[in-house]
Amino acid sequence: MTGESAEPYREFISQMVLRLEHAGRAVNRELAGVRVEVAGLRGDVRDLTAGQQALKVGQDALREEMREQMRGLGEDSRAQTHALLRVLDRLEGGPEPAT
């Protein structure tokens, strides 16, 4: 190939290299934007995880409070049942319980 006949190829190759460089820069800009979005999403996930942890702690505390209340209600119920049984015994003429 002579210098003149190679010139169109050189021009073509030069144009392709320029297009590839521009495309590479565009991809890099796009990737930078994606990195920013991913960083934001990671922050959102951290916030959600912290919120879930806080909810779990609150739920555990509420569950324990409810258990305590149920224990208290069970004790109250037993005491009321015993009192009613004593009243029924007295009404039926049963022995007076020692107090």
Q: What's the pLDDT tens digit per position in 31-72?
A: 999 999 999 999 999 999 999 999 999 999 999 999 999 999
CA trace torsion 46, 47, 48, 50 (10° rounding): 80
CB atoms within 10 A of CB 62: 10
- What's the pLDDT band for 94 if we cut at 50, 70, 90? low
Q: What is the pTM of this model?
A: 0.50
What pLDDT is recorded for position 95?
A: 61
What pLDDT is recorded for position 99?
A: 57
State the average pLDDT for the chain.
Answer: 91
